[in-house]
């Protein structure tokens, strides 16, 4: 297998994901980490990632993640679940330049396929975790690795609700369960539960949400002042977009919130609208049904633009 060939010829390995890491990012990074430490104990391996939800710390190795690349020498650097250099987290872009070899494992349709020396990108896959698993030797996947891969798949499929969930996805989930992954605990503690702070600010976002385009769109936003009022961080908002998406009768949901001195937009769609195209107009990307971008302006200034772009796609679908 290509993955094992790359790993076995390295003395030290660094693993990176994207900014504001989500379940698939942390799941795939730690899945690769556990696969390496258990099968190649002689190799020095380290995961670097920005702050992530506390619930993900049930994964083995989460307590060993470092917040930022520290300048160490790297034989092999992996970039996971990341489709552009400007979305690299934990100073990964610097590490990729310094590493002797690099490998990108991803599933975003917006991936240019040239971020690393080796680019393993499957845009039909549900998640980077799914792509990663297909590159592993199944007999070498332990319970710890299976837990990580399962968490990543659960979060990027919306607990298997999103259209990216395919037959291969579910076959892999069956494999992971066969390896005794803690599927019930993982889905309950990391997907269906949230902290009290996250619950409060998500409730605030829902209370202030608005419907548009004859109920086909739901949107909301929070400001830095709102975060301060609820003593919350962007991490506490990681599931808000999916709560918005649950409102019946809507085709598109988008949520705008502050992060790193800018505003980030998270998009979700159900059937018709390609939100990847909308995100791309703002320098972002992702998938047809789930995407994101960052803006430097205010939510009030960008919302009319977003609604106009969504309306254009909706009109084309009925013409």
User: CA 284 to CA 110: how far, in whole Å?
Assistant: 9
DSSP state of 32: H
Tokens representing residue 269 in the block: 């769609």
Q: Looking at 260-317, which runs of residues are DSSP E strands? A: 262-269, 285-286, 290-295
Q: Span 101-128, mean pLDDT? A: 96
173 and 310, same domain (yes or no): no
Are both 36 and 164 inside the same structural domain?
A: yes
Shared-domain flag, residues 172 and 259: no
Geometric angle at alpha carbon 244, from 240 and 249, rounded to 5°: 165
- State residue 285's pLDDT score: 87
In terms of phi and psi (left: phi > 0; alpha: psi -120 to 50; beta: otherwise), the region of 239 is alpha
Q: Can you give the CATH number for the domain in which 215 is found?
A: 3.10.310.30
19 and 99 co-located in one domain: yes
192, 218, 239 - which closes a domain: 192
What CATH number is given to the structural domain containing 85?
A: 3.90.1640.10
Using alpha carbons, select from 273, 274, 295 the residue that is nearest to residue 284. Answer: 295
pTM: 0.91
- Residue-level pLDDT at 56: 98
> Could you say which of 136, 162, 192 is where a domain stops?
192
For the cut 80, the answer to whether the pLDDT of residue 319 exceeds it is no
For residues 201 and 127, membership in a common domain is answered with: no
- Residue 16: which pLDDT band, with cuts at 50, 70 and 90? very high
Contact 126, 55 (CB under 8 A): no
Together in a domain, 281 and 161: no
Q: For residues 141 and 9, state if they share a domain.
A: yes
Average pLDDT over residues 28-34: 98
Instruction: Judge if 182 and 241 occupy the same domain.
Output: no
Asked if 183 and 151 sit in the same domain, the reply is yes
According to DSSP, the β-strands at 118-121 and 210-212 are unpaired
Q: How far is CA 279 from CA 9, 152, 242, 259, in A?
A: 39, 22, 17, 16
Do 27 and 174 lie in one domain? The reply is yes
**108/180 same-domain check:** yes
Mean pLDDT for all residues in the chain:
96
For 204, the domain range is 196-317
188 has pLDDT over 90: yes
Give 287 or 135, the one with higher predicted confidence: 135
Q: What's the structural domain count of the chain?
A: 2
Mean pLDDT in residue range 64-74 = 97
**pLDDT tens, position by position, 288-307:** 999 999 998 899 999 999 99
Q: Confidence band (pLDDT; 50, 70, 90) for 318?
A: confident
- pLDDT greater than 80 at residue 116: yes
Whole-angstrom distance, CA of residue 247 vs CA of residue 37: 43
d(CA 25, CA 271): 25
Structural domain ending residue among the three candidates 157, 192, 227: 192
């Amino acid at each position: 297998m290509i993955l094992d060939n790359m790993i076995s010829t390295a003395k030290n390995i660094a693993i990176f994901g994207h900014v504001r890491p989500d379940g698939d990012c942390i799941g795939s990074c730690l899945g690769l980490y556990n696969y390496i430490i258990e099968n190649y104990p002689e190799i020095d391996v380290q995961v670097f990632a920005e702050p992530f939800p506390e619930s993900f710390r049930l994964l083995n190795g989460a307590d060993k993640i470092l917040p930022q690349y520290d300048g160490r020498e790297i034989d092999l650097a992996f970039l996971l679940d990341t489709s552009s250099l400007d979305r690299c987290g934990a100073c990964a872009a610097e590490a990729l330049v310094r590493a002797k070899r690099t490998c990108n494992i991803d599933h975003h349709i917006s991936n240019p396929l040239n971020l690393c020396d080796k680019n393993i990108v499957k845009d039909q896959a549900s998640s980077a975790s799914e792509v990663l698993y297909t590159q592993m030797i199944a007999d070498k996947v332990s319970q710890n690795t299976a837990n990580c891969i399962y968490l990543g798949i659960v979060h990027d499929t919306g607990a298997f609700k999103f259209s990216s969930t395919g037959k291969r996805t579910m076959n892999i989930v069956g494999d992971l369960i066969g390896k005794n992954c803690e599927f019930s605990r993982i889905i309950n503690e990391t997907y269906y539960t949230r902290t009290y702070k996250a619950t409060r600010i998500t409730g605030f976002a829902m209370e202030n949400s608005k419907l548009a385009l004859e109920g086909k769109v739901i949107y909301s936003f929070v400001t830095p002042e709102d975060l301060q009022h609820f003593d919350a961080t962007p991490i506490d908002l990681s599931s808000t977009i999916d709560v918005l998406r649950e409102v019946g009768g809507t085709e598109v949901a988008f949520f705008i919130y502050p992060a790193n001195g800018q505003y980030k937009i998270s998009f979700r769609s159900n059937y018709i609208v390609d939100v990847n195209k909308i995100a791309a107009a703002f320098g972002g990307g992702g998938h047809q049904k789930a995407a994101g971008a960052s803006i430097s302006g205010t939510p009030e200034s960008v919302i009319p633009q977003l609604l106009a772009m969504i309306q254009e796609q909706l009109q084309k679908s009925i013409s």
